[in-house]
A = this chain, B = another copy of it.
């Protein structure tokens, strides 16, 4: 990889950072939609919460940022990504009327990850989560059948989906049989279900309606980025 490529962040990351900065007043601007492919070849998509850009975590020596998302390792998307690691995220910023589409491969970093740099990234992201978000890892398996008799309370926003869309993750409505959430909430050690997803961004499509522009970036085999301007 040429030194000039490794020395600077790709220009799309500056545009994305500006969009994030300019949309902080809208909480929903932290949500993006991550598309994956099911084992049967059909597409699927769900809302996830942005958990930061981490330069160089997947390519030591390169500044290319990976997009971080957190999830429960028992969710369907983790199984889908194990079979088909390609994903694309659509991220719409309502205040500035911009859309970014970010495509690439996802690396799932779970409790069994033996790569020190990735395991460290997982611990760092865990350390930055609120106690409420940490608690949802002790919830029943997402997507499993729910028996209303299991329900121990009436509080809302407890499960992994609550994290995905900004819930408080209070855990109070979970079955009494679940592990007590308190230790998980305060532990510096990530819960065994906690999984960090790192999207290795290989292609970016940025539409800016205010400027009436659309730019498409692609990472070449050697790591160099090319950009072209296309019609929106």
Most buried by B among A86, A211, A232: A232
**Is A46 engaged at the interface, CB distance under 8 Å to the other chain?**
yes
Q: Which residues of B contact A101 (CB under 8 A)?
A: 44-46
Question: A162: nearest residue on chain B (CB-CB)?
Answer: B209
What is the size, in residues, of chain A's interface with B at 8 Å between Cβ atoms?
A: 61
Select A207's contact among B37, B42, B165, B210, beta carbons within 8 Å: B165
Number of copies: 2
Q: In this assembly, does A39 line the interface, its C-beta being within 8 Å of a C-beta of chain B? A: no
Q: Are A37 and B45 in contact (CB under 8 A)?
A: no
Write out the residue numbers on chain B whose beta carbons fall within 8 Å of the beta carbon of A103: 42, 44
Q: Does any Cβ of B come within 8 Å of A230's Cβ? A: yes
Partner-contacting stretch, out of A10-18, A87-95, A126-134, A180-188: A87-95
Docked Cα-Cα span, A228 to B34, in Å, equals 24
CB distance from A130 to the nearest CB of B (A): 16
Interface: A35 (CB within 8 A): yes
